[in-house]
Structure 1
Amino acid sequence: MIDDPLLTPYRLAGLNLKNRIVSTAHSSRYTSEGIPTERYRAYQEHKARGGVGLVTLGGSAVVARDSPPAFGNITMYKDEVVAPLARIVDSCRAHGSGVFIQLTHMGRRTADHTGDWLPTVSSAAMREPAHRVYPKAAEPWDEDRIVADFAAAAERAKAAGVDGIELEHYGHLLDAFASPWHLSKLPPDDRARAAQLPQRVIRAVNDAVGDDLVIGVRMAVDERRPDGLDLDTAHSLLDRYVELGVRFVNVIVGTIESATRLSEVIPGAGRKSAPFLDTAAEVKRAHPDVTVLHAAKIDDVATARHAVANGCVDLVGMTRANIADPYLVTKIQAGRESDIRPCIGARYCLEGGATGGVVCVHNPAVGRESHLEHEIDAQAGHRRRVVVVGAGPAGLEAAHVAAKRGHEVVVLEAATDPGGQVNLLVTNDRRRDLIGAIDWRVEQARQHGVEFRFGVFAEEHDVLELAPDVVVVATGGLARTASDAGLGCAAQVDDLWAVFEQPRRHYGAALVFDDDGRYPSLDAVEVLAKAGNTVTYVTPERSVAVEVGALNFSDFQAAFDRHDVAFAPTRGLQAVDPRDDGRLTVTLETEAGAAAERITCDKVFYAGGTNPNDELYLALRERSSNQGRVDYEAFIRAQPQPHGHEGNRAFELYRVGDAVTSRNMHAAILDAHRLALGM
């Protein structure tokens, strides 16, 4: 692949980069009181070890105390940040990667009831919808202080040994002093002075670091709003910034003041690939001497290669793709592109506030590099015969990892195709990319000798006939019904899976009672709505789909708006009564149990997660050597399970995923990965 444009070196100012692929700045939440942890070091080092040309640290590393960390940001206003940052820089540079850090003042995009509880600040006293904070309009002394804070943070970055600094210029403070829709809120006499702040910051940072570091901006060049920054204005701004020492621009399109706006800037599953690449190319044509970087939904190698080969960009950000597979570059170099774990656009990596830090929905090693493996070698002490029952996400993860470890693996699956419950979810065609998690695992398993037997509804004798050393039950779950939940109206209510089994069926008016709060509920609502049904969503929670991340919810919300879906939060299901005309009357109730509104509909569906499909597991348990026991300390560390052999109980037995209890996709895959890695 010597002629591959992605692998060609690039000189950015005085910095030599070994290839064109960049991991752009993003929040991992792997900090402790604003200081990057060992977890963060390992997370970034694996990207460098995997061959990426440039790693950008920070994900909005904040420069001032009145810019408190909203999402685990690195606090660059502390001197004690330098040493741990230096360790990260050294770890990445040891593998030949360049290292930048992104610096910012969050402006109004944070909270004033955390950190030091200081008032937030922006160019104008304009509330941000996402964080619901009311900033004060910056006074001249605030501007002076913030310029000095940027310079001091840049000096700390230089002391840590980074190669460059990227200044955040969209959705935070700097662009609030550059964008017309912010500046228009100021008194006319104040606008000219305020508009100088970004240039003052660039000048101060450049003075602080000299020629030793590369300076650039991550900048919205088109805010996609009538009163916002447009491309012509952005060109003029960028010309001025270049005169002050800016050497690269990371092109952003859009704004991020709400979840809906942010979801457009960071597109997920079902969105067009590389939707803003043409805009990045326009910036490149207008500024041929400036390095242009761009990263919005460039999540496959072919698109990235096109972007570089056709001169749309100089450097291509494959950030989420590089989260899904940190070894993406080395696989390109080795001619193994088919082995790259695909980014499936789930955006679970952006829900770090709910998961304790960045995780990938189908790469369990992300953020757990200290004890889990991205790349698995044959390390098993002795070859064992492993029987996996079930070919959903958990079963496939157990199968391919065990096979890569060197074991002989047979997978028994009742259905004619792999996928399990993922096959239900992708009946919502907007989420079809999720099947990539299945396809990749099947291909990996087959490459490493896994034998698949489909159409086998495995019973106890089917498993025992294979003389297994280890049995992994990954039989998934069965939809939990309204009867399971103890609802008195259960006879008139179908489970959620019925929606996915007949995704184009027209019922008329449908009601979904969401007692689960996770993605399947919203997928079902979208499937029903697209089939032409009038849909009402009801939940006992105070908000819709409480376990669904804000960015992904905004995509669902857009679909619901198109189809006029109605919502009834804080309502229980009291009764469902048949009518003489064949329809149903649904009586909702308040949390106190009092009858509330009544709704007439044609079909009611209940969403309540799953019950474990554990019949096979229970049948095998007493015949196993460990009786299904799991040593959690060993399990968490992906170490071998302690086991003993009693009489004829010759095999170990485990269950993973929904066969244990109702789990989400990431949790199910993590279960299986940890277990199989310890075999």
Structure 2
Amino acid sequence: MSASVPNSHYPALFSPIELGGHTLRNRITHASIVTKYVSQHAPTEKLLNYYRSRAAGGAAAIITEPIAMTAHNRIPSRLRAWDDVGMDGLKHVADVVNAEGACLMGQVQDSGRGRHSVGRNDGAVGASALPDDLSWTVPAELTANEIEDMIADWALGCARLKSAGFAGVEISAGHGHLFHQFLSPWSNRREDQYGGDLAGRTRLLSSLISAIRAECGYPFIIGLKLPGDDGIQGGIDLTVARNIAALLATQRNEFDSWTWVWGAHARSLYKHLPDAHGERHPYLTAIAELRQVAPEIPTGAIGYITDPNECETALTDGTADLVFLGRPLITDPAFPNKCEEGREADIRYCVSCNTCWRSIIDGNGLECDNNPRVGAADEHDWQPAVTEAPKHIVVVGTGVAALEVAHTAARRGHRVTIAGDHSRVGGKTLLHAELAGGENLSSVYDYQYLMAVRHGCEFALGRKASLEDVLALSPDEVILATGSRSGRPQWLSGEWADSGLIPSAREIAAELLERADITEGRAVLVDQDHSEMTYAIAELLAARFTAVTIVTSRERIGHDVSLINRQGIYQRLHDLGVKIVCNVEPENLETLEDARLTVRNVYSGVTQDIDEVVAVAHASSRVPNRELQPLLEAAGIPVTPVGDCRAPRSLLATTREAYEVANCL
């Protein structure tokens, strides 16, 4: 669409904007996301694919993950800009993005003392020798000369980026990183020119802005990511954030845009990436107020924005001039193009589950629950290879694994029939989507179902598929995606197991969703699952019982949850008054007849009673539903189990496996 003709769907979102001497073709900027697709300071093909697809998918600008520019920050998983050795790699990345009509910006950032993975950062430097609020890493306090050397290194690094074809940089001064640590009175107790009052604490950042502008000149974009409310008592709240902005606004001729972010390397880390447990785009009202310090400075909207209408509203109500999207562009690199063309239904929407964050902190690289092709070639416009030998594929099941296999196989030219015992699709994810914080998960199976219908899948729903039902469909091959069921924990046996009085977490959740009454007494949830869904069920229990206790044999809850989400879980559970008892498991169920549950410490053997118990449920390991497999194989039908039916697994693993299986048919 010509830039001179307003977009009929989202005219503000798809209007160009001038920044730092560059023209951005629209208002969508890919927020900086760590990918772990850099190896030994060099871009891998996966990184190039990732950036190429988001640029070709319509983003106006892409901000890279942090780039190594100083002697203190030479992590092998970051692109190299501290000398000229890394120039070829930098040029390669810039060429890929520029060829697709987007602008590439590098991120200037140092974590300082901050660390949110296991262990401590032994090479950390910081404003003051004070411990990180998460890892308790104590950094080496930078001298004034070291600070000045770092400023010079960053400025020269930015000049290298410009020479390589980058359009600019973003200085990441929020989220608890090094610049944030200097800005905050909580972490900066210096008494020299880089500490003390607000002007002193801001001097590192303001000096860096001036140094980069002096070194790079124009055209070159300098964007600022500043702390809003970092959630730390004695740190940066909105008043301090406003004062920082007012001071920096005096340099408005040296930088080109700004935005504000929340949280820090502390118990407020979870505010960094808000999820569906809170309100949508929770920071926009505060961003709109903060920008009033200097409303003429282009401002970015950021934080749990996943829908094009939210983007358009932020641009038209005075909140922002740009929209920073991170997670939505991981899930669908063609999000901008689809919005511009009015194809919103074709978008694979971000569910804000933060699996992407976990994959880069605890895993080997960026992944997504709702996009099994992250970092693959032509990800933005992918069409599967059409098979030369089409088959009739019968998919037994109605959950995420079944639907991912079905629509992918159908797109490859197979005839696909989906058979299942539910009249609605979604499987166990459907139940999770009905719980607090899970509503976005419906986007996963809604998209899959839409694609399945569009590509001609046939549906035989509403009854449990028997051997005879499947054979009657005359399949060439069967994909068994029948999910799993809750297993019986070892402590639940005998008459108590047969009585049905101690249901699984899923069973009690389904029952409680059908009623709204409140029961006097305590519900106990025995947690041997540690997944997000378990704690969503705990919140439901807190709404239906006057007291709730979670017991687990592990030393904490949420072992199968990322740190950033686990913090939110703890916050909500404590806000609801849910008690958490760790390192114990049920010992004596007979005491339930007296409204008491006896639990035993798994290490010492000491027992204790939980009183006023009126309900007990268990979140236990799951058992695959594979009863049909041997029957079908005996009938000579090739069978491939996927998802929980193969082995209970995460949504991420389920989607990826189902996609891979479909491409091998």
* 1:473 to partner: Cα distance: 0.9
Q: Does 1:409 align with 2:395?
A: no
1:615 is aligned, of 606, 627, 636, to 627
* 1:412 to partner: Cα distance: 0.9
* 1:451 to partner: Cα distance: 1.8
Question: Which range moved further: 15-24 or 217-226?
Answer: 217-226
Aligned to 1:239: 249
1:82 is aligned, of 83, 87, 99, to 87
Listed as ranges, the matches of 1:306-385 within 5 Å are 306-352=313-359, 353-367=361-375, 369-370=376-377, 375-377=382-384, 379-385=386-392
* 1:490 to partner: Cα distance: 5.0
Q: Does 1:543 align with 2:556?
A: yes
Q: 2-side partners of 1:246 and 1:45: how far apart?
A: 27
* 1:417 to partner: Cα distance: 1.1
Q: 2-side partners of 1:377 and 1:44: how far apart?
A: 21
1:399–1:507 CA distance, 2 compared to 1 (3 A): farther
Q: In 2, are the aligned partners of 1:37 and 1:84 still within 8 Å (CA)?
A: no
Q: 1-side partners of 2:380 and 2:59: how far apart?
A: 18
Specify every segment of 5 or more residues in structure 1 that has no aligned partner in the other structure, as ranges.
625-650
Q: Does 1:128 align with 2:140?
A: no
Q: 1-side partners of 2:117 and 2:306: how far apart?
A: 35
Aligned to 2:3: none
Aligned partner of 1:408: which letter? R
1:232–1:89 CA distance, 2 compared to 1 (3 A): same
Residues 432-475 of structure 1: per-residue CA shift (max 9 Å, x gap): 22122122221221122222222121011111111112211110
* 1:21 to partner: Cα distance: 0.9
Aligned to 1:145: 149
SS in 2 for 1:517: coil
Aligned partner of 2:529: which letter? D
2:165 is aligned, of 138, 161, 168, to 161
1:474 is aligned, of 475, 481, 488, to 481
Specify every segment of 5 or more residues in structure 2 that has no aligned partner in the other structure, as ranges.
1-5
1:108 is aligned, of 73, 92, 113, to 113
Aligned to 2:70: 64
Q: In 2, are the aligned partners of 1:394 and 1:657 still within 8 Å (CA)?
A: yes
Q: 2-side partners of 1:371 and 1:516: how far apart?
A: 37
Aligned partner of 2:621: which letter? G
Aligned to 2:646: 660
Q: In 2, are the aligned partners of 1:68 and 1:111 still within 8 Å (CA)?
A: no
SS in 2 for 1:199: helix
Q: 2-side partners of 1:115 and 1:265: how far apart?
A: 21
2:50 is aligned, of 43, 46, 56, to 43
Q: In 1, are the aligned partners of 2:185 and 2:234 still within 8 Å (CA)?
A: no
1:149–1:487 CA distance, 2 compared to 1 (3 A): farther
* 1:126 to partner: Cα distance: 2.8
Aligned to 1:604: 616
Q: In 1, are the aligned partners of 2:69 and 2:81 still within 8 Å (CA)?
A: yes
1:194–1:455 CA distance, 2 compared to 1 (3 A): closer
1:213–1:616 CA distance, 2 compared to 1 (3 A): same
Q: In 2, are the aligned partners of 1:475 and 1:658 still within 8 Å (CA)?
A: yes
1:558–1:471 CA distance, 2 compared to 1 (3 A): same
Q: In 2, are the aligned partners of 1:384 and 1:407 still within 8 Å (CA)?
A: yes
SS in 1 for 2:67: strand
Q: In 2, are the aligned partners of 1:576 and 1:587 still within 8 Å (CA)?
A: no
Q: In 2, are the aligned partners of 1:8 and 1:20 still within 8 Å (CA)?
A: yes
Question: Which range moved further: 17-26 or 561-570?
Answer: 561-570
Q: In 2, are the aligned partners of 1:482 and 1:495 still within 8 Å (CA)?
A: no
Q: 2-side partners of 1:489 and 1:68: how far apart?
A: 59
Aligned to 1:529: 542
Aligned to 2:602: 590
Aligned partner of 1:502: which letter? E
Q: Does 1:511 align with 2:497?
A: no
Residues 97-156 of structure 1: per-residue CA shift (max 9 Å, x gap): 1100111122221389989943x2222333221232112433212212221221232233
Q: Percent of aligned pairs with the same residue?
A: 25
Q: In 2, are the aligned partners of 1:280 and 1:294 still within 8 Å (CA)?
A: yes
Listed as ranges, the matches of 1:14-29 within 5 Å are 14-29=21-36
Aligned to 1:98: 103
Q: 2-side partners of 1:88 and 1:202: how far apart?
A: 24
Q: 1-side partners of 2:173 and 2:521: how far apart?
A: 48
SS in 1 for 2:589: strand
Aligned partner of 1:618: which letter? P
1:486–1:517 CA distance, 2 compared to 1 (3 A): farther
* 1:168 to partner: Cα distance: 1.1
Q: Does 1:208 align with 2:195?
A: no
Aligned to 1:497: 506
1:543–1:83 CA distance, 2 compared to 1 (3 A): farther
1:463–1:16 CA distance, 2 compared to 1 (3 A): same
Q: 2-side partners of 1:372 and 1:99: how far apart?
A: 19
Listed as ranges, the matches of 1:369-448 within 5 Å are 369-370=376-377, 375-377=382-384, 379-448=386-455
Q: In 1, are the aligned partners of 2:484 and 2:645 still within 8 Å (CA)?
A: yes
Runs of 4 or more consecutive aligned structure 1 residues displaced over 6 Å after TM superposition: 111-116, 371-374, 484-489
Q: What TM-score comes out, normalization by structure 1 length?
A: 0.88
Aligned to 1:643: none
Question: Which range moved further: 342-351 or 107-116?
Answer: 107-116
Q: 2-side partners of 1:659 and 1:57: how far apart?
A: 39
Q: 1-side partners of 2:183 and 2:466: how far apart?
A: 67
Question: Which range moved further: 496-505 or 405-414?
Answer: 496-505
* 1:194 to partner: Cα distance: 4.9
1:587–1:180 CA distance, 2 compared to 1 (3 A): closer
Q: 2-side partners of 1:337 and 1:580: how far apart?
A: 55
Aligned partner of 1:308: which letter? L
Aligned to 1:258: 266
Q: 2-side partners of 1:73 and 1:252: how far apart?
A: 24
1:519–1:193 CA distance, 2 compared to 1 (3 A): closer
1:608–1:115 CA distance, 2 compared to 1 (3 A): closer
1:152–1:591 CA distance, 2 compared to 1 (3 A): farther
Q: 2-side partners of 1:112 and 1:349: how far apart?
A: 15
Q: 1-side partners of 2:520 and 2:584: how far apart?
A: 23
Aligned partner of 1:515: which letter? Q
Q: In 2, are the aligned partners of 1:481 and 1:494 still within 8 Å (CA)?
A: no
* 1:211 to partner: Cα distance: 2.1
SS in 1 for 2:437: helix
Q: In 2, are the aligned partners of 1:483 and 1:490 still within 8 Å (CA)?
A: no
Aligned partner of 1:175: which letter? H
Q: In 2, are the aligned partners of 1:481 and 1:607 still within 8 Å (CA)?
A: no
Q: In 1, are the aligned partners of 2:314 and 2:320 still within 8 Å (CA)?
A: yes
Question: Which range moved further: 427-436 or 605-614?
Answer: 427-436
Question: RMSD value over aligned CA atoms?
Answer: 2.9
Q: In 2, are the aligned partners of 1:24 and 1:319 still within 8 Å (CA)?
A: yes
Aligned partner of 1:236: which letter? A
Q: 2-side partners of 1:556 and 1:86: how far apart?
A: 43
Aligned to 1:630: none
SS in 1 for 2:265: coil
Q: In 2, are the aligned partners of 1:427 and 1:500 still within 8 Å (CA)?
A: no
Aligned partner of 1:123: which letter? A
